[in-house]
A = this chain, B = another copy of it.
């Protein structure tokens, strides 16, 4: 499966009104702490790959809606994710593998033993909505501000159609795909 994703920088208040008008369905609201790794044998910044350990905590379990970007270590679930190089540069399409892991410390030790090193941490509050077969994600990113993503997962044959659909969903939210940001939050933070 390939992830097709469009992302723009946009204030959330206007977008949430448009989501309400279209009866978008709230999916969840989570806090995420993502630790990105450098590889010992490749320059991920050059190859545009990523390796990440993510801690995800339901926001309603951590001090309610005003929790900021800090949540207790060890809370929630841990996932490890590899994102391959871009397949379609316009839509940020790439191959992705992700699995939950039971023991975060062990996964960190494994990566450390293999020579992978923590490079940067991204913290965000993420609210997801379902709309027209897409996931609309409202992200508040620590140190960066507010963003909106429209994404879906498809087989390789359907990438072009999925991208057209994502553009339409973005426009229905009053946003313009011409403002699309292809740089990851990690990249934006490293550039800032």
**A residues touching B (Cβ–Cβ < 8 Å)?**
39-42, 49, 51, 80-82, 84, 95, 97-104, 106-107, 109-110, 113-115
Contact = CB atoms under 8 A, between A and B. Distances in A.
Nearest to A78: B99
A114 B51 contact: yes
B107 A99 contact: yes
Contact of A110 (B97, B109, B113, B115): B97
- Secondary structure at chain A's binding surface: helix, strand, loop or mixed? mixed
Nearest to A115: B41
B82 A97 contact: no
B100 A103 contact: yes
Given A95-B113, A102-B102, 8 more contacts: A40-B41, A41-B115, A80-B110, A82-B110, A84-B113, A99-B102, A99-B104, A99-B107
Contact of A101 (B84, B102, B115): B102
Contacts of A113: 49, 82, 84, 95, 97
Which of A41, A84, A97 has the most chain B CB within a 10 Å cutoff? Answer: A97
A38 to B, nearest CB: 12
Contacts of A101: 80, 99-102
Contacts of A97: 106-107, 109-110, 113
A76 to B, nearest CB: 14
Given A41-B40, A41-B41, A114-B51, A82 B102 contact: no
Contacts of A95: 109, 113
A43 B87 CA distance: 30
A5 to B, nearest CB: 18
